[in-house]
């Protein structure tokens, strides 16, 4: 006999109790802890923004420390912010993140050394191979060297592939050629030899892009350069989680001797006319583009919960290969999907709502570990 789904009304009652608890300092203790639930399986991470790194809200800080044992900076280690001028580096916020991690027993993944997007403004004025090479080399050596022994891992190169598995026509490919990825890993290894080094991308669970990613990894290894893992970002859409492709990717990347991690997990519930996470893509707002301004319909809430449940069952099935699951944001209010690909939308892609209260998806995820 099929078991009837738990009604959303039951969850609503639970949320009401949590809302009452949230008014006091013990709110962070009233719900299960993701980091404790999965402590014997894989790391549980989140992306942190400036306000969270600065610990401006003590309750939010306590909540983060209870739920997560790994963190990735949302922006503060990207080159536009960390390396604003040719000969100037600003490590202020990145250093605060390191201290945050020490204080709350949270491991920090550096993100990211080389990415074609969010580059310093001065790069636009550079039109010579020698200058791009100098920036590339100095940036990796300086940044990876500064955080040597402070971050446990780096996303060394981010999003270097097209959807068909070919190399993206970035400024680095244009001036440095298709060996720039291997060279980035070589430089990172030299600057920070004890740090785990990862390649990170979106849609690299899809067959064509996966094949390109595998060839990239093989090329790095053939050059005698170390690469420790591949990050699958996990920006997926509700009701359309590619579970078979994800599982096949876990198996194929692991067969190369790599750790596999899900680095930017969220599940989009709003409509979009393209797949992936290319920040350069945009959509035009219209009357239908923000369909849930105040609340998510029960049917979508249930589908979101079912999708997260299926994902975590798969992650647990392969917990000997999956080392980390990182959500891209602490709660729905923090999600980048509120402003991309259309600014000002109300999105609901994470396990916690805008008040950090657990959604049905949270309880489904917790239940997978039992």
307 token code pair:
């999708």
Above pLDDT 90, what percent of the chain? 84
Check whether the bond before 330 is cis (ω within 30° of 0): no
CA 273/CA 234 separation, integer angstroms:
18
Query: pLDDT band for position 277 (50/70/90)?
Result: low
What is the SS3 assignment for 202? coil
Neighbours of 370 (CB within 10 A): 5
pLDDT on residue 3: 43
Q: Assess whether pLDDT exceeds 50 at residue 20.
A: no
CA 325/CA 231 separation, integer angstroms:
10
- Listing DSSP states for 293-345 in one string gives SS---HHHHHHHHHHHHHHHHHHHHTTTTEEEEEESSSSGGG-GGGSSSSTT-
CA 231/CA 207 separation, integer angstroms:
15
In sequence order, which ranges of 84-192 are alpha helices (DSSP H)? Answer: 92-104, 129-146, 171-176, 180-191
Q: Which residue is associated with the tokens 């219209």?
A: 286
pLDDT tens across 25-58, in order? 344 568 999 999 999 999 999 999 999 999 999 9
What is the SS3 assignment for 20? helix
pTM as predicted: 0.91
What is the residue-averaged pLDDT of the chain?
92
Contact 191, 149 (CB under 8 A): no
Question: Any idea where the domains of the chain sit in the sequence?
Answer: 32-269+290-368
- Kindly state the average pLDDT of the residues 11-15: 51
pLDDT tens across 289-307, in order? 888 999 999 999 999 999 9
CA 290 to chain centre: 24
Q: H helices then E strands: how many in the chain?
A: 13, 9
Angle at 155 between CA 152 and CA 158, to 5 degrees: 175
CA 227/CA 199 separation, integer angstroms:
8
Q: Which residue is associated with the tokens 């093989």?
A: 218
pLDDT on residue 329: 98
CATH says 32-269+290-368 is which class?
Answer: alpha beta
Q: Which residues belong to the active site?
A: 159, 264
Of 370, 364, 366, nearest to 5 by C-alpha is 364
pLDDT on residue 8: 52
Query: pLDDT band for position 342 (50/70/90)?
Result: confident
- Kindly state the average pLDDT of the residues 157-175: 98
pLDDT on residue 297: 95
Contact 196, 152 (CB under 8 A): yes
Please say whether the dihedral angle defined by the alpha carbons of residues 149, 151, 153 and 156, taken in this order, is positive or negative. Answer: negative
pLDDT on residue 1: 38
pLDDT on residue 286: 74
């Amino acid at each position: 006999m099929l078991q009837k789904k738990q009604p959303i009304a039951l969850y609503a009652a639970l949320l009401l109790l949590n809302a009452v608890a949230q008014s006091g300092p013990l709110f962070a203790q009233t719900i299960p802890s993701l980091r404790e639930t999965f402590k014997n399986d894989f790391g549980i991470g989140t992306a942190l923004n400036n306000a969270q790194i600065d610990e401006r809200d003590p309750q939010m800080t306590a909540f983060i420390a209870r739920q997560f044992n790994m963190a990735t900076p949302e922006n503060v280690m990207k080159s536009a912010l960390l390396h604003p001028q040719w000969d100037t580096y600003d490590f202020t916020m990145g250093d605060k993140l390191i201290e945050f991690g020490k204080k709350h027993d949270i491991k920090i993944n550096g993100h990211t050394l080389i990415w074609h997007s969010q580059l310093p403004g001065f790069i636009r004025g550079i039109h010579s191979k020698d200058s791009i090479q100098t920036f590339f080399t100095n940036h990796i050596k300086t940044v990876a060297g500064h955080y040597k022994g402070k971050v446990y891992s780096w996303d060394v190169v981010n999003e270097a592939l097209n959807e068909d598995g070919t190399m993206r026509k970035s400024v680095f490919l244009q001036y440095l050629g298709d060996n720039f990825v291997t060279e980035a890993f070589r430089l990172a290894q030299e600057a920070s030899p004890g740090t785990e080094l990862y390649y990170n991308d979106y849609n690299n669970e899809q067959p064509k892009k996966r094949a390109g990613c595998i060839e990239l990894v093989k090329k790095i290894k053939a050059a005698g350069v170390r690469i420790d893992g591949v990050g699958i970002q996990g920006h997926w859409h509700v009701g359309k989680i590619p579970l078979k492709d994800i599982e096949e990717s876990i198996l194929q990347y692991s067969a190369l001797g790599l750790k596999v991690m899900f680095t930017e997990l969220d599940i989009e519930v709003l409509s979009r006319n393209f797949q992936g996470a290319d920040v350069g893509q945009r959509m035009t707002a219209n009357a239908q583009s923000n369909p849930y301004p105040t609340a998510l319909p029960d049917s979508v809430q249930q589908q979101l919960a079912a999708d997260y449940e299926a994902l975590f069952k798969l992650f647990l099935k392969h917990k000997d290969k999956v080392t980390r699951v990182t959500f891209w944001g602490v709660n729905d209010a923090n999600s980048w999907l509120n402003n991309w690909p259309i600014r000002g939308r109300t999105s609901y892609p994470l396990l916690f709502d805008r008040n950090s209260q657990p959604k049905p998806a949270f309880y489904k995820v917790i239940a997978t570990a039992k």
